[in-house]
Structure 1
Amino acid sequence: MTRRSTRASLLALALAGALAVAGCSSSDDDSSDGGSPTSPSGSTSATPYLPVPDGVQLTPPGTHLSVGDEATVAWEPRQNLVGTLDITVSSLEKTTIKDSFGAWQLSSEQQKSTPYFVRATVKNVGDTDLGGRRVPLYVVNDQNVLLESTPFASAFAPCPSTALPDKFKPGAKEDVCLVYLAPDHGQLDAVSFRPEETFDPIIWTGDVTTYKPAKDDGKKKSGKKKG
């Protein structure tokens, strides 16, 4: 990890980022209502919401998926750059500050959060290099608020929560794990792809399992880590 001041700043910024995207949630969207998921099998978008390569069929906005299902999505990481990914959310895991962050110095707000790990497989099916971009997935908590994934300043063995590799060209594939801190001991209701506020989100729901830490996960004899 970095020095204490760096870590404290990064953790504070991560929590602030999670709260800042609260404005992206909407009271009239039912993405976290626990209703029966609807599979996109056999359905495609008549008109893609963003330009994608020929042969790529985007999963329709508003699709409800189960953990293990794949969605094809597109978003604009920046102006004039469209990214296209196949995303399969493979597992949702709940952990605790004690089990996974015992060797890390956290703010009082973070100490009151519930950490979740979201594991997924992503493949670049577009025609642009998405190297260094963060996977565009949020979680929806029990307050219907979107939470961003939390980055780390140094290696976090249980769930790296890093951006895509520096080079992630068309055809590249990667297994990823993202960390989300639900404030005030909140719970994870769904995983959401929602690149902008007016987009009808694509969501994944499923059973949340308990993370089983390895003996050395996050526990270094050298002392507390700074994130």
Structure 2
Amino acid sequence: MSTNTMRRATTGVIGLAVAGTLTLTGCKSGNEEVAPAQPSTPAAQPSSGGYDSAQPSTPASPSTGGDAPAGAAGAAKPGQTFKIGETATVPFSYGNTKGGTIALTVTAVEQGQPADLDALKLGDKVKGMIPYYIRYSVKNVGTVDLSFASVGHMKGTLPDGTEAQGVSVIGKFEKCKDETLPKGFTNGQTQTSCAIALAPSAQTKVAGAEYWGDPYNSLSNGKGLFWK
């Protein structure tokens, strides 16, 4: 993960560095991508993921199952699939914060408009692509204070199961806010978040979501949790 300092600007990257100012976005590494400092434009980076447009549904009770990752009793197992609106219990660590547990729910996959991407200044790199917004909620169901942690690693999947290209935003993008957890994010606290996935054309929709954060990116050859 790059340690370059960034200002809160909004710019986009699609698998390639844009004008030498943003780094390449990886697909299934455990690292987060960070762009170098920019004077005034908000920054965003594409990531992979895809979904069909879906309406929010009522969250179900957290799913449990065998083969739970790394010491997390009742945690969702690698490769487990949920319906949109269902909740997965997920072991969670971030930086020096270890041993947390979150309830993670993909609540909706919403189709946006191509013009939404104009603010990210991606130009021809997103020509013909359609943005989808993966809405998800994070609830602290453990005993560890997760203040200022970031719950990312959410991407889209296309109808054939392949990854959709995504955009990781560095800065503010009002249509799809992805912010760190606030101070005092202790047991029972909840926050909503969003990830951007790109359909390659109007004929192909983003059909689902995958969470591939640790420990799922280091287990079962990187197979994460899926929502469809």
Q: TM-score range by the shorter chain?
A: 0.5 to 0.7
Select the structure that is richer in helix: 1
Indicate conservation of the 8 Å contact 1:149/1:161, yes or no: no
After TM superposition, list the pairs within 5 Å mapping 1:12-161 onto structure 2. Answer: 12=13, 19-21=25-27, 44-46=64-66, 48-52=68-72, 57-78=74-95, 81-98=98-115, 100-130=116-146, 131-141=148-158, 142=160, 144-145=162-163, 147=165, 150-154=168-172, 156-161=173-178
Tell me: higher relative CO, structure 1 or 2? Use CA pairs within 8 A at least 6 residues apart. 1
Q: 1:172 Cα deviation (Å)?
A: 1.4
Aligned Cα RMSD in Å? Answer: 3.7
Unmatched runs of 5 consecutive residues or more in structure 1: 25-31, 35-39, 206-227
Could you tell me how far apart the structure 1 residues matched to 2:62 and 2:140 are? 22
1:162 corresponding residue in structure 2: 179
Q: 1:78 Cα deviation (Å)?
A: 3.8
Q: 1:79 Cα deviation (Å)?
A: 6.7
Indicate conservation of the 8 Å contact 2:156/2:166, yes or no: yes
Indicate conservation of the 8 Å contact 1:18/1:146, yes or no: no
Letter in 2 for 1:174: Q
2:20 corresponding residue in structure 1: none
| Identical amino acids, percent of aligned pairs | 23
1:29 corresponding residue in structure 2: none
SS in 2 for 1:21: coil
Indicate conservation of the 8 Å contact 2:16/2:24, yes or no: yes
Aligned length: 182
Q: 1:86 Cα deviation (Å)?
A: 0.5
2:34 corresponding residue in structure 1: none
Could you tell me how far apart the structure 1 residues matched to 2:28 and 2:62 are? 33
Larger radius of gyration: 1
Unmatched runs of 5 consecutive residues or more in structure 2: 1-6, 18-22, 31-49, 53-59
